[in-house]
Amino acid sequence: MDLKNIKIETQKEIKNAKNIKALDEIFRKYLGKKGEITQIFDSLKKLSEEKKRKIGRQANLLKNEFKEEIKKKLEKIKKEERELKLKKEKIDISRPGKKIESGHLHPLTLIQREIEEIFNSMGFEIAEGPEIESEWYNFDGLNFPPDHPAREMQDTFFLKQKNREKLPPSKKFVLRTHTSPAQIRYMEKHQPPLRIIVPGRVFRHEATDAGHESNFYHLEGLMVGKDISVANFKAIIEEFLRRLFKTDLEIRLRPSYFPFVEPGFEIDMTCLICKGKGCFLCSKTGWLELMGAGMVHPNVFKNSGLIPHQLNNEGWQGFAFGIGLDRLSMMKYKINDIRLFYSGNLRFLKQI
């Protein structure tokens, strides 16, 4: 076909093309590898210099016009398709919109934040400690004698280490069994008077039931000054529980033993699940064990580099306590099984 006929033919075909696919086929028919216009360019090398220049110029003109027409038609087809789509689309503005679900905080985070706010308002700072802790901070520094059965009070997850038995306590690691190690870590770096709380995750190798988990949360409290006493402790804890539960409840202090306090006690509160009548959660006693507490042992002060209280009124004294956050949350939100917190069950979490 000569250039003139190609021009007439391409114009006709482009005009009749109904969609992008047809247009693409036309483009390839003329400008593809074996396309008709391409072939004209290929044949130029056989022509004389003069003809080559003349036909080459005409072929270039034809190619540019062809490309321009394809481009124009493509835009036209796209525009028509857009208009057709819009015509077909119907928007029903009376339909209700899609609801965006918003999540909420986990009950343990909620209780932690609420407790932090209450203690903050009573002048307590928030401190932190590591979850992987050395035996020194978790036990020895807290006055647990080596090989003393007291270490077994808290079934421990010990980390595997090469030649562990030969390492000093500061180089042997455990998953912390309580947040009490943070007492020493804090007192090593800060001079009293001080008031802190330390919320955090703790781990114990124990069988689980409605009231026990092997991974749960503690909140440590520590208040140290010149003359801080058990009376201050009782006042602060009563005020704290009153604000948290916004209801009348009783607490009781029972003498207890923790190597890092002297004297030591355990604090129970009325079981709010059964209102003190006795249920499976409180082992039918009507009381729920909430925290351990006591006056900081002189050895703990010494191990933190501080001088404990002495008769000439030199040195420091104060109280410490460790609350089970899960149990508090269970009381606050009336949850009867601690394992629900860690189940990842959305049907449970959505009720809070």
Give the binding site for ligand FA5 (CB under 6 A): 154, 178, 180, 204, 206, 212-213, 216, 218, 258, 261, 264, 289-294, 320-322, 324, 326-327, 338
Residue closer to ligand FA5 by CB (options 30, 321) is: 321
Measured between alpha carbons, how far is 186 from 218 in angstroms, rounded to an integer?
16
CB of 226 to ligand FA5, least distance (A): 20
Rounded to 10 degrees, the C-alpha dihedral 211/214/216/218 comes to 90
Residue closer to ligand FA5 by CB (options 7, 218) is: 218
CB of 296 to ligand FA5, least distance (A): 8
Q: Regarding beta strands 261-270 and 125-126, do their DSSP bridges make them parallel or antiparallel, or are they unpaired?
A: unpaired
Residue closer to ligand FA5 by CB (options 27, 144) is: 144
Q: Regarding beta strands 194-203 and 125-126, do their DSSP bridges make them parallel or antiparallel, or are they unpaired?
A: parallel
Region of 72 please: left (phi>0), alpha (psi -120 to 50) or beta: alpha
CB of 277 to ligand FA5, least distance (A): 20
Residue closer to ligand FA5 by CB (options 17, 320) is: 320
Contact between 44 and 50 under an 8 Å Cβ cutoff? The reply is no
Residue number closest to ligand FA5, CB atom: 324
Q: How far is CA 88 from the centre of its chain?
A: 46
Q: Which of 112, 322, 117, 321 is nearest to 233 (CA)?
A: 321
Residue closer to ligand FA5 by CB (options 35, 324) is: 324
Residue closer to ligand FA5 by CB (options 72, 302) is: 302
**How distant, in Å, are the alpha carbons of 1, 35, 61 from that of 32?**
16, 5, 17
CB of 218 to ligand FA5, least distance (A): 6
CB of 119 to ligand FA5, least distance (A): 15
Q: How far is CA 37 from the centre of its chain?
A: 64
CB of 257 to ligand FA5, least distance (A): 10
Residue closer to ligand FA5 by CB (options 10, 156) is: 156
**How distant, in Å, are the alpha carbons of 3, 156, 195, 231, 268 from that of 113?**
83, 28, 17, 26, 22
Measured between alpha carbons, how far is 90 from 67 in angstroms, rounded to an integer?
37
Measured between alpha carbons, how far is 344 from 87 in angstroms, rounded to an integer?
47
262 marked ligand binding residue: yes
CB of 118 to ligand FA5, least distance (A): 18
Beta bridge partners of 295: 319
The annotation places the binding site at: 262
The annotation places the binding site for Mg(2+) at: 262
